[in-house]
Amino acid sequence: MAADGYEAVLTNLFEEDLDTELAWRAHEVGPGSAASFLDSFEQAKDAAVSFPAFMP
């Protein structure tokens, strides 16, 4: 949990979808694409936790 009291909660279905996307990217485009996608996701998740009022 973040220091400000917010946290991002991921559902099992979302995690399955994320795993599927990462596997597809790694196989079809390359491991670098999967890593970049995961980094972008983590940054977006951190932003949502840090600035929840700015997220839709």
pLDDT tens series, the chain, 56 aa: 555 678 999 999 999 999 999 999 999 999 999 999 999 999 999 999 998 888 76
Report whether 47 contacts 55 (CB < 8 A): yes
pLDDT of residue 52: 86
pTM > 0.85: yes or no: no
pLDDT of residue 53: 84
Strand extents, DSSP E, 1-56? none
CA 56 to chain centre: 16
54 contacts: CB under 8 Å, gap ≥ 6: 47
pLDDT of residue 31: 97
